[in-house]
């Protein structure tokens, strides 16, 4: 399949364009309201326009689902679920953790077929194809049984964090970029990433690609009730998310998954 590797060139072009915006006032500001009900930043628009242009230039056989344009019906069976710029604040402030995130699916996460997350600060990328595993650049990622002791957790209340997420963690990192954080779970750089609580809910575009990366390395993606997380095509829906590496296999009860 490998439709999404066509976007590596787009990612490299965006790296150059964003790097060229040396003044903060060139990188910040808004251009309108997105389909998800949030303001569209100047950099979000720059990235989304480049991705959509590539879809049309290559006549890719997909509809488009994006936080800015919503659902763009091109009369195909499958959809590209796009977060054109994940980690907008980081990009605006030259913090090197922001990405473009794209996944191919039909109706929901259960139909995910392909995913790519490109770090637009470095050019490194994560890629996955259903049943064929996940990769960091050209290196295939392996299922792991070892814990790192590091995690990413977003929660404003400590009492809503499941007890097993507190065990064995000695380092916590918060990057502000869910797609890259999920890539790091797949890469076994961290044990898990958790967005818990009403204020920390995510959209389909934020995590669709990350879900596939984690699952293709034997990990788990759950909701706040520790049930498998599934989302459809509505960019307005928001859910809590816990993504666990394969090292948690056996620690989750059978009725949780």
Looking at residue 244, what is its pLDDT? 97
Single out the residue of 250, 229, 245, 241 nearest to residue 109, CA to CA: 229
Average pLDDT per consecutive 10 residues, the chain (257 residues; last block may be shorter): 87 96 90 76 94 96 92 96 96 96 98 98 97 97 91 79 84 93 96 93 97 98 95 96 94 55
- Paired tokens of 226: 């520790």
Contact 11, 19 (CB under 8 A): no
Determine how β-strand 99-105 pairs with β-strand 114-119. Answer: antiparallel
Single out the residue of 95, 241, 74 nearest to residue 66, CA to CA: 74
DSSP state of 207: H
Does the pTM exceed 0.85? yes
Tokens 């936080």 locate to 67
CA distances from 222 to 111, 159, 252, 256 (A): 16, 18, 10, 9
Single out the residue of 109, 126, 83 nearest to residue 217, CA to CA: 126
Backbone torsions φ then ψ of 149, nearest 5 degrees:
80, 10
Looking at residue 253, what is its pLDDT? 54
Looking at residue 209, what is its pLDDT? 98
The residues, ordered by sequence, that sit 6+ positions from 90 with a Cβ below 8 Å of its Cβ are 96, 97, 98, 121, 175, 176, 177
CA distances from 139 to 3, 187, 210 (A): 18, 10, 17
Q: Which residue ranges form the domains of the chain, and what is each CATH number? A: 4-140 (3.30.540.10), 150-256 (3.40.190.80)
- Paired tokens of 237: 């829906």
Looking at residue 156, what is its pLDDT? 64
137: left (phi over 0), alpha (psi -120 to 50) or beta: left
The residues, ordered by sequence, that sit 6+ positions from 88 with a Cβ below 8 Å of its Cβ are 41, 43, 44, 98
The residues, ordered by sequence, that sit 6+ positions from 187 with a Cβ below 8 Å of its Cβ are 126, 136, 141
Tokens 């997420």 locate to 165
DSSP state of 127: E
């Amino acid at each position: 399949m490998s439709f999404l590797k066509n976007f590596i060139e787009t990612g490299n072009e965006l790296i150059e364009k964003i790097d060229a915006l040396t003044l903060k006032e060139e990188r910040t500001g808004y251009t309108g309201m997105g389909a998800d009900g949030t303001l569209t930043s100047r950099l979000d628009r720059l990235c989304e326009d480049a991705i959509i242009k590539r879809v049309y230039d290559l006549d890719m056989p997909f509809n488009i689902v994006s936080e800015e344009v919503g659902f763009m019906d091109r009369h195909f069976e499958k959809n590209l679920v796009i977060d054109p710029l994940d980690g907008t604040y980081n990009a605006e402030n030259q913090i090197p953790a922001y990405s473009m995130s794209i996944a191919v699916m039909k109706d929901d996460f259960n139909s995910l077929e392909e995913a790519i997350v490109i770090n637009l600060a470095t050019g490194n990328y994560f890629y996955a194809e259903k049943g064929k595993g996940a990769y960091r650049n050209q290196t295939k990622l392996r299922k792991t049984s070892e814990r790192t002791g590091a995690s990413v957790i977003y929660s404003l209340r400590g009492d809503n964090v499941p007890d097993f997420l507190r065990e064995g963690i000695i380092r916590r990192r918060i990057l502000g970029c869910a797609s890259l954080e999920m890539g790091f779970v797949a890469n076994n750089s961290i044990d898990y990433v958790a967005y818990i609580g009403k204020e920390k809910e995510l959209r389909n575009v934020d995590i669709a690609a990350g879900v596939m990366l984690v699952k293709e390395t034997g990990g788990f993606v759950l909701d706040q009730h520790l049930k498998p997380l599934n989302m459809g095509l509505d960019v307005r829906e928001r859910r809590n998310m816990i993504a666990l590496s394969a090292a948690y296999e056996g620690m989750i009860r059978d009725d949780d998954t």
